[in-house]
Amino acid sequence: MKAKAKMRVLSKTTEFQKYDRSSCVTIGVFDGVHLGHRSIISRCVREAQKRDSASVVLTFENSPRAIVKGQTPCFLTDRQKKLELLEDLGVEFTIVLKFDRKFASLEPENFCSQILKRDLNCVAVCVGENFHFGRGGKGNTDLLKKEGERNGFDVIVVPLLSSDGNIVSSTLVREMIMKGKTKEAANILGRPYSMIGKVIKGHARGKKLGFPTANIGLERHFCIPKDGVYAGITIRKGRRIPCAINVGTNPTFGDEELSVEVYLLDFDENIYGETLEVEFHSRLRDEISFLSERELIEQMEKDAKRAREMLMEEQA
């Protein structure tokens, strides 16, 4: 069986010209690479294969909303995770651009003639029904089709997916996560929601109580699930370790700073300073303030037992 080619990652659209190939392109932030994104990207990959062209994802390292509207949404994936997910879908090239004022001011027509046609030698573009582009978001699928006729590329509009009457979107996933609905979010993402961070020094209370936890220092402005305790999986060097995760401020001890603490089940190794990926599978309960350490220990024992049971049920 032929091994899948490694995806190439570029930082400028002009870099693609040296490969002397035509392309099928899809464009978007693709934060989370959820099922809606996957339907568009997979269609782009199939179209590229049919046309003997390169499949190209044009995406951004920052949020266009931060530049255009002054709003910075929390992230569902970091750069590396997004690239891994795109590569898994069979994408040949991903171009990661910095979205700045200059890019935001590009007229839709110029985007089509300069970026798509000149730089990417585009023969087809795959986008969702709600796609907008160019200065002020003036470009839509109708304008894209018009410019496609002028510049010699086809436009394929992929129907949007819905879940329980809602359009599948990164915004919807964020809302679910911040409400603690991690199982529902996983159904839309096509995988459990996860965050990535380095194990940093905490208060070491868990160790004193018999439940040593890893305090995760998040490496990006990730969407943090609603305060509470979750069953999950921690990924360390490719190994998947069952865990219980506490998100909150530890009200029993009067803390104020939000933390993400992970108790790895059946695990006893020094992981301080290591970078871990933490998956949120099921929400177990709200965060509670306990009257004593004994009550807290009893509840942590119940949490660990319940987390183990729920993860085993998932695998059954």
> From CA 187, how far away is CA 171, in angstroms rounded?
14
Residue 228 burial (CB count, 10 A):
17
Residue 253: the pLDDT is 46
Q: Which residues contact 176 (CB under 8 A, 6 or more apart)?
A: 182, 184, 185, 188
Indicate the helix (H) or strand (E) that contains 230: strand 228-236
Please provide the CATH number assigned to the domain covering 192-315: 2.40.30.30
Amino acid residing at 152: G
Are 171 and 158 in contact, with CB atoms under 8 Å apart? no
Residue 31 burial (CB count, 10 A):
23
> From CA 8, how far away is CA 178, in angstroms rounded?
34
Are 76 and 193 in contact, with CB atoms under 8 Å apart? yes
> From CA 312, how far away is CA 316, in angstroms rounded?
6
Please provide the CATH number assigned to the domain covering 8-160: 3.40.50.620
Q: Pinpoint the alpha helices (H) of the chain.
A: 35-50, 64-68, 79-88, 101-104, 108-110, 141-151, 170-178, 182-189, 205-209, 293-315
Residue 70: the pLDDT is 72
Give the orientation angle of helix 35-50 with respect to helix 182-189, to 10 degrees. 10
Residue 147 burial (CB count, 10 A):
22
The answer, as to whether pTM is greater than 0.95, is no
At CA 98, angle to CA 19 and CA 84, rounded to 5?
Answer: 65
> From CA 278, how far away is CA 256, in angstroms rounded?
22
Which residues, in sequence order, are bridge partners of residue 9? 94
Residue 135: burial class (beta carbons within 10 Å; 0-12, 13-18, 19+): middle
Give the full edge-to-edge strand order of the sheet including 54-60. 8-10, 93-97, 54-60, 23-27, 122-128, 154-158
Residue 3: the pLDDT is 54
Residue 187: the pLDDT is 95
Residue 292: the pLDDT is 75
Domain ranges of the chain: 8-160, 192-315
> From CA 180, how far away is CA 159, in angstroms rounded?
28
The span from the first CA to the last CA of the chain, in angstroms, equals 31
Q: In a structure prediction context, what are the per-residue pLDDT tens digits for the chain, which is 316 residues long?
A: 445 679 999 999 999 999 999 999 999 999 999 999 999 999 999 999 999 999 999 999 888 777 777 777 899 999 999 999 999 999 999 999 998 888 889 999 999 999 999 999 999 999 999 999 988 888 999 999 999 999 999 999 999 999 888 999 999 999 999 999 999 999 999 999 999 999 987 655 555 555 678 899 876 789 999 999 999 999 999 999 999 999 987 655 455 578 899 999 988 888 889 999 999 999 999 988 776 778 888 888 899 899 999 888 887 6
Dihedral sign, CA of 9, 13, 15, 16? positive
pLDDT tens digit string along 180-209?
A: 999 999 999 999 999 999 998 765 555 555
* CB crowding 182-221: b at 16 or more within 10 Å, else e: bebbbbbbeebbbbbbbbeebeebbeeeebbbbbbebeee
